[in-house]
Structures are given as structure tokens and as C-alpha cells.
Amino acid sequence: MGRRQQTEVWGILNVTPDSFSDGGRYVDAGAAIAHARRLRAQGADVIDIGGESTRPGADPIDPAEELARILPVVQELVREGIRVSVDTIHASTARAVMEAGAEIVNDVTAGLHDPDMLRTVAEGGARIVLMHSRGIDVTQDTHYDDVVEEVLAHLASRVDAAILAGIPRERIILDPGFGFSKEPDDNWRLLASVWRLWQSRLPVLVGTSRKRFLGELLPEGADAAERDAATAATSLLAAQKGASAVRVHDVASTVSALRALAAQQLGEQDAAERAGTATHGTIELRGVRAFGHHGVLSEEREAGQEFVIDAHLEVDISDAIVSDDVTDTVHYGELAEQLAAAVGRDPLDLIEALADRLVDVCLSHRRVLHASVTVHKPSAPIAVPFGDVAVTVRRGRGER
């Protein structure tokens, strides 16, 4: 099927008796592990495990009970080499699952519920999802003067708090919190503005799966599982707007939707080229400066350094010539922000791997036919005087 879609798919695994759509189905550890394997086989990149329901009216549980539900599942999935995220608001649970090998802690309160959460994650070395909410009661305080600006401001303050607690910026993921203290129209406004979160230069997780605002698209009384088609559609829209990951119950439908999008884009470009109607142009983006923690040496990982990015793109500009509309070409301002955000993500040893990641960012724009990215490392730890060190990766759409 060619290259896999860039946006990660996180499969939801609720090990709870009372979650709103699948409560009780996987409360047994054996059933939960079997379901996680199915999700992985369907294409999930990460399994996001929750042991406490956040549905409206759910009763809080003791952290010890939450941990007893999820720890055996975490341990087995990690043993099998499956990437694991744990959805928890309790620092004690986060500490235990990180020790068991969980890669990500997903806190729906962004560290506000438990004052020890951010420090605990900082010490444990996992990545953290900071989600916008107004507490664990998802129905409270749903008024906003401007939902997009208020969510952005809240998340910016939580990023500052996480960094102050010792969590490196490259270990932070943002989630606008669809369905949490938000009316249906608020969710649609947020989805339309997901790209604004790229301004933070941090990866964005979108979780619309089976949320109540999607239920309004269906006949009254429809089961929550009937929202999976709308979930796949909104996940695809989020991916088009730059989301790094989507979190879903039904992995197969969303993976298929993302693969269909990639295939359609390839087909569209191939058809234009075969018909001779495509007009190719080039876009040069040079000297994009971004800070990252990439390198083989531990001091490079800890202190970080500046990288300079040059991108040369071959682009189908046929529609842009006719429409004179920026949406029909590559918005180089947005691309620059996306490249900088990708540099700020999780560290890599080699700038070869970083350049390849940035080529993926360029090729995620459907008009880009071929991308060449050069990564300069002007502060490389070289013992003799030097002017520059750089690596270039070139790749066309569909190539690997």
C-alpha cells in the first residue's frame, strides 16, 4: 500500500467497568491484552490505556484500584514491544506505569488534578499529553468568549508549568480536549483551528472518538459505536490540518481513512501528470532556524542546539495559477512552522534521520511531488575549526 500515513493512530483501551461506549468489555486483563493486540494488528501505533472513566457522572476511584486494573496490561504489552500510553490523572499511577515501560502519560487535566504529576513525569522520563479541560467533570463550565483563544492560552500556561517542573519541551504533546467542558459548536471551532496549535511547535493529539458532539450528526438514540464513521472523518480532517496523532476506539476505520487520503492524493497527482495538465513549480525555503535536542552525545541531548533547515520543493501549482488562492499551493509560512515543530519533537541521534523526518513533513502537503531537505548543524561538537556540517535527504512522493 506504499508508505504509511504520517499521522499516528492511538487505539483506545478502556480497562474499566463504566466507560461510556465500551465499559466492562475489557476489564479483565486477558480480554484487554487480546483487544490491544487486535488494535495493533489493525494499524494502531500506540495503545492508550485507561483505568478510570471520564464519562459524565463517573465516580472517582482510588489510584490503587486504577493501577490494579491497568498494570498487568501495561507490563504485558511493553513486553511484547507495543508502545503504551496511560490515561491517568494520578501521579502514583504514572510513576508505576513508567517504571513498567509506558512511553506516554496522558493527563486530561494537564497536571492540575494531582500537584505531583508534572514532577513525577519529569523524573520518570516519559512523554506527557497536556489536555485542555476544566476539571474531570466534562459537563461543567462550558461558556467561552472565544474557545480557540482560551484553549490556546490554557495550554500555553500548562506547557510553561511542565517545563518549570523539569519536563523537556520535546517530551510534551498538546490535546485541545474535544468534548471536555465544551458545547458542540465549540468542538467544531476547535477542529477548524487545530493548525493554530502548531504555533507552539509541539505535536498535537486529537481525540474526537465517539464524543457526544459527533452523536448530534446521527439519529436520536443511535449507539455510541455508530459514531465511528464520523470519528474517522474528523480524524482525517485533523490529520490534514497537521495533527501528529489521533486517538480512536475503532482503529481500522481511521487507518483506512488516512490511507485512502494518501492514495487519493497520489492518484490525483499521477492523473494530472499523465494528462499533461500539471504545471510544476519550485518553492525554496531557506534558513529556517529551530531548536532541538538531537545528537549522539548526551550533552547535545541535554542542552540542545540550533539547527538550520533548507527545503527545496517541487510542487504542482496548476490550480494555484488559475485560482490565485494560497490554499491551492504550499503556504510556506505554515510549512516553516511545521518544520520547526518537527525539529522540536523527540530527539534523534543523527541529522540524517532528522532530515528524513522533515522530508515527511514536506510530503504531507498533497501538492508537493518531490522534497529535498538539508539540515545544517552549525554548533556540531567538532574538535577542529569548521564552517558548517549538513546532511541532505531527497525523496519523491511514494518513494522510500
Active-site residues, by number, are 211, 247
Among all chains, which residue has been given the C-alpha cell 510549512?
335
Helix segments in the chain, DSSP class H: 29-41, 63-79, 91-99, 117-124, 147-164, 184-192, 212-215, 228-240, 251-275, 298-303, 318-323, 332-343, 351-363
Cα(100)–Cα(78) distance, integer angstroms: 8
The vertex-235 CA angle with 128 and 145, nearest 5°, equals 75
Q: DSSP string covering 163-210, please?
A: HHTT--GGGEEEE--TTSS--HHHHHHHHHTGGGGGGGTS-BEE--TT
Question: What is the DSSP pairing of strand 8-14 with strand 245-248?
Answer: parallel
Q: 84-104 in b/e burial notation, b at 16+ Cβ within 10 A?
A: bbbbbbbbbbbbbbbebbbbb
Cα(213)–Cα(372) distance, integer angstroms: 41
Category of 7 on φ-ψ map: left (φ > 0), alpha (ψ -120 to 50) or beta: beta
Taking a C-beta distance cutoff of 8 angstroms, is the pair 317, 282 a contact? no
Cα(116)–Cα(16) distance, integer angstroms: 24
Contacts (Cβ under 8 Å, ≥6 apart) of 273: none
Joined together, the cell numbers standing for residue 163 give 517545563
Among all chains, which residue has been given the C-alpha cell 467544531?
188
Taking a C-beta distance cutoff of 8 angstroms, is the pair 130, 165 a contact? no
Cα(345)–Cα(328) distance, integer angstroms: 28
Q: DSSP string covering 66-118, please?
A: HHHHHHHHHHHHHHTT--EEEE-S-HHHHHHHHHTT--EEEETTTT-SSTTHH
Length of the chain: 400
The residues with which 12 forms a beta bridge, in sequence order, are 48
